[in-house]
Chain A
């Protein structure tokens, strides 16, 4: 659970990147943009819940409290990462050959 922030980021990247590879060889480019938006929304909502929950948790044990704080910050980092991964979907058309 402490690692949820980065894990959600990794899954999100796998979905948006994997879906684009797939969409460009098989499916449709438009589908990719829709999927990207949905995945991003889901990821951000999940992380927001996580951050709120972890920051509200109060425990006495020294190690557990520390890890709760770490989890909050990792959640925030994960959200930043998800947003960074989503920017290209907004800015660059799908399936554009670079050369």
Chain B
């Protein structure tokens, strides 16, 4: 007689299970057949596609690197022209960072998280699928610009003034700004999915204390995306406004400042490297205990270190700007922080080493990649601390020393762990594991090749070779070092080839008979892995449930734990509380669909057509995208069907609203994104004021106070209409509709009044950095107001159909959150653009 993991020691369900239970479960989660698989939303399918695509971009960007290394092999080479070389390094860096690294780690989350958390799927499967399709279409088009010579060529960080209309005419820079800008939207969509998934769909009993480190890192990664990406999205909006309409945000003669771009870009760009590294650390934290056969040493300390790293990484961005003439004391702040952040990273490295020492490490291919990661990443960290010292950075800035440093961190901290992850997790998802022999060969080649390629670059850099040069003259002592680097690069390529061969020979993705837990790991992703995840949802009472309960895999498979079938006949997920993971709600998940796929295509078309200035078709595609999103959302709020029994005497509601509902959480995260975008804007506004106060108007030139009072009154009226609508919801449909309409109209009117007042006072966006900022604020307010308008229209449509009432109100709850935010941001904007100049004027 075995004892269940549950607190009572009893299984939630008796055996045997009803004969048709499993078939009904299978039917609910069945995949669409044939080419219709495109409409699938299961996290495993999307996860496979996501990872394959990301790896594909890695190979493509790697080929670009080989082209560059070939050009640099010998001095005065003419293999590649200067113009092409510029496009190559820009595309290589951009594709590696935005189309490989970030999507790859998000993809690992999409694939692994539900399994690891004991969930059936992520909470918003279509959102995850949408994020993937946007990324695939957008990424491919972006990459193809290279073949027609329209690729950007201003480096992966796109500094103005080089990237301004004046010095980069043509559409290359626009492709970067719009293309990358909207791929970031996909990253944010993925982040929302991951945050809500980790917080709300963990198996019962998996409290935060029992959550695997990988899930922690994904949570922190997603949180960082929410706060970091808006900064660069704002930057791309501003630069695109400057390029298209001449609003001088970054033009110094007209009260702008190119350094504003650098601040915004690096406020994103530095956290970005940790966004890439943290999940990799999470993967390593899963692999090491299994391979060493013992629990992770210092689990809690690692969680602390991860959170601290995530936060501190936001306080380092100025270390990319040490040579821009910022006051010395400010440099000191960021130098100190840059050195401090190495402490939590060091803690993690020591914890892994301690775990390896505490257990007995099996030297598998995965372990080798982990060891490679530890050495290479640590070396990169050391040169990082060197570069954090301001005087050293003044010497090494923009030389090959920096190229060496960041490749040690990126390849060491991300590529090695990812390859380790492939070798480690393949048996959980493939009929056969990958070949240990080929894996070890690949490791030997890539470890040697990488160091042969990049170690000499420290030296080439220190003896003066700048980065981003397409060739160099003979006789400077750089020749043989470069040749060695090129040889190493080809060794890396050979390693990747070996890995690809291994994939072709052994990787057989499956949803029925995976090779299984060949490493004897202790976490839940090693249970069976079907379209529906595992047959039943276990109760989790330790960090390594499969080690603590040897029979768990079998018990889960037989359906002895929670929710062994489907209650409603459709796809379902148990939603649990955020900290203690107590079951709260049985959420019904959507199945396959086309609307989200089409929405992704039209969204991509909208942005890409804007780039080539095909405005009319772009707008049409934009409208179609919105229509598709409405169609996709239409069925996402099914009505209650009473309580559902998940076993063990637990009956969960099938409808909830308010903070218990995952959609509420998603909305809060989305609002955090909007808030971060707006805060970046406030920073930009104040920043331009500190550099160019002379362009700020005197109090007398500002719009009269009566205008501002009117705008503020309209905003307040909008808020009042909202709260009245809320009170009347479910009682009078016409009155509700009228109140919502009035509220939305006054929100729009407030914006119009504000813009008119500025315009009539003579302020023009092209005139000065200040003018540009004021109107940019209006653009942001227009964005959130438009979001409120669309959501309100959606709510009214559902109201008309009788799908919205006092009980069934999640759609309204979401609208309300966005609306409150819009009113708040509007009021703050008035204070900033009218109040601040008066206060300082």
- Chain A interface (Cβ within 8 Å of chain B)? 3, 5-7, 9-10, 13, 16-17, 20-22, 24-26, 61-67, 69-70, 73-74, 77, 80-81, 84-85, 87-89, 91-99
Contacts and interface: CB of A to CB of B under 8 A. Distances in A.
B328 interface: yes
A66 B311 contact: no
**A16, A64, A92 — most chain B CB neighbours (10 Å):** A92
A9 B818 CA distance: 29
A85 B208 contact: no
**B207, B314, B330, B691 — most chain A CB neighbours (10 Å):** B330
Contacts of B312: 6, 9, 81
Given A96-B329, A97-B327, A10 B690 contact: no
Contacts, number: 120
A96 B307 CA distance: 34
Contacts of B329: 20, 88-89, 92-96
B580 interface: yes
A74 B207 contact: no
Given A25-B691, A98-B326, A10 B315 contact: yes
B390 interface: yes
A40 to B, nearest CB: 12
Contacts of A87: 332, 336
Contacts of A77: 304, 308, 344
Contact of A63 (B209, B301, B327, B336): B209
A33 to B, nearest CB: 9
Contacts of B337: 13, 81, 84-85
A86 B307 CA distance: 22
6 contacts: A6-B311, A63-B208, A74-B308, A77-B344, A80-B340, A87-B332
B207 A17 contact: no
Contacts of A64: 579-580
Contacts of A26: 690, 693
B208 A10 contact: no
Contacts of B326: 98
Q: Is the interface of B mostly helix, strand, loop or mixed?
A: helix
B331 A98 contact: yes
**B308, B311, B328, B329 — most chain A CB neighbours (10 Å):** B329
Nearest to B223: A3
Given A77-B344, A81-B337, A98-B327, A9 B311 contact: yes
A65 B579 CA distance: 10
B579 A16 contact: no
Contact of A99 (B308, B311, B325, B691): B325
A66 B328 contact: no
Interface string B337-360: 101100110000000000000000
Nearest to A17: B333
Given A6-B312, A74-B308, A62 B580 contact: yes
Contacts of A5: 308
Contacts of A7: 311
B303 interface: yes
A66 B693 CA distance: 49
B581 interface: yes
Given A25-B691, A70-B303, A98-B325, A81 B340 contact: yes
Interface in B693-707: 693
Nearest to A89: B329
B661 interface: no
Given A6-B308, A67-B579, A84 B336 contact: yes
B581 A13 contact: no
B210 interface: yes
Nearest to B300: A69
Contacts of B343: 80
A88 B333 contact: yes
Interface string B709-727: 0000000000000000000
B724 to A, nearest CB: 34
Contacts of A66: 207-209, 300
A9 B328 contact: no
